[in-house]
Amino acid sequence: MLLTYENPQVFWSRSFNFTANEEGAIMVNLKEELWKTLQDLEGDDFKRFKWFLKQDDILEGFSGIPAAWLEKADRQDTVDLMVQQYQEHGALKVTLKVLEKISKNDLVQSLQNSSSRLKDLKNHDSVPLKSDYERKKFETKIKLMIEERQMKIKEIRHSAELSRRSADIHIADSEQFFTALLQSVKRILDNVIEEINDKQKTTQKEADEFIQKLEQEISELSKRNNEMEQLLRTEDHLDFFKGFSSLSAITKNWTEVTIPPPSYGTSESSHNGNLTLT
């Protein structure tokens, strides 16, 4: 017997509009009808059915279901995947189209008949299925993009907070280190200054002692010079030579006497010479 059936595109070109309760009940029944229809497919036919579901543009505006999802899917899983991918009415439309492609015209007719209870609502205005599917797809995509950016904001804020905390820790550590370093340098500097001053005092003391001795000898020599002048006025030259020879007893040979400057370390200028007294 020749089966007659309505073309799936023509069948689903009708528009429907439901109340919330009506639509919920119809969707449950629709999934059951889809499942029953797939139950009537033999193994190879069901395999071919799933193969067509993987193809993009099985219907205009409908993308294929990923192969990995369908690989181990049974008939119930396949219905759930179609509803998830195309929404309920889209799943019905795709099912009718694939059944037509695999020449299961009897199942096409049967599924159309089982869905005929929707026909009494055909005169109501509704949004076309493709537009509704695209709208929901667009809304889902926008929602996902917003969520991704909100997560990125949280990630950036967290990274910035970690960076700020790390900077505060490094600043505190640096301040502590350089404060201790400055204190250490100050102690070293104080010690160096004290050592330099001690060396300078020692050198100054030695120089003062030499100067004092030299001044004493100058005074003594001046006194002897006056005495020598008086002896020269007399004819007693023997006393003159005795007085001259006695000068070595009261004077010192200062030719080799020097006061070398103390070493103050590497900061001492290389051109500094010895302080020499002659």
What's CA 160's distance to the chain center, in Å?
8
In whole numbers, what is the pLDDT of the chain averaged over residues?
A: 77
User: Token pair for residue 204?
Assistant: 């100054």
- What's the mean pLDDT in 2-29? 46
Domain segments of the chain: what residues?
Answer: 8-126, 188-276
pLDDT exceeds 80 at position 33: yes
User: Token pair for residue 261?
Assistant: 């400057």
3-state secondary structure 90-158: HHHHHHHHHHHHCCCHHHHHHHHHHCHHHHHHCCCCCCCHHHHHHHHHHHHHHHHHHHHHHHHHHHHHH
pLDDT confidence of residue 137: 83
Task: Kindly tell me the burial class for residue 38, based on how many C-beta atoms sit within 10 Å of its own C-beta (0-12, 13-18, 19 or more).
Answer: buried
Alpha-carbon distance of 198 to 192, in angstroms, equals 10
112-165 pLDDT per residue, tens: 887 765 444 444 444 455 567 778 888 898 999 999 999 999 999 999 999 999
- What's the mean pLDDT in 216-232? 79
pLDDT exceeds 60 at position 15: no
pLDDT confidence of residue 134: 78
- Other Cβ atoms within 10 Å of 118 Cβ, number: 17
Contact yes or no for 129/17 (Cβ under 8 A): no
Q: How far apart are the first and last CA of the chain?
A: 147
Residues in Cβ contact with 45 at an 8 Å cutoff, skipping those fewer than 6 apart:
102, 104
Alpha-carbon distance of 68 to 259, in angstroms, equals 99
Query: At 189, is the pLDDT very low, low, confident or very high (cuts 50, 70, 90)?
Result: very high
- What's the mean pLDDT in 207-225? 86
Please tell me the CATH code under which domain 8-126 is placed.
1.10.533.10
Contact yes or no for 102/45 (Cβ under 8 A): yes
- What's the mean pLDDT in 78-92? 88
Q: What sign has the CA pseudo-torsion 173, 179, 182, 186?
A: negative
pLDDT confidence of residue 138: 85
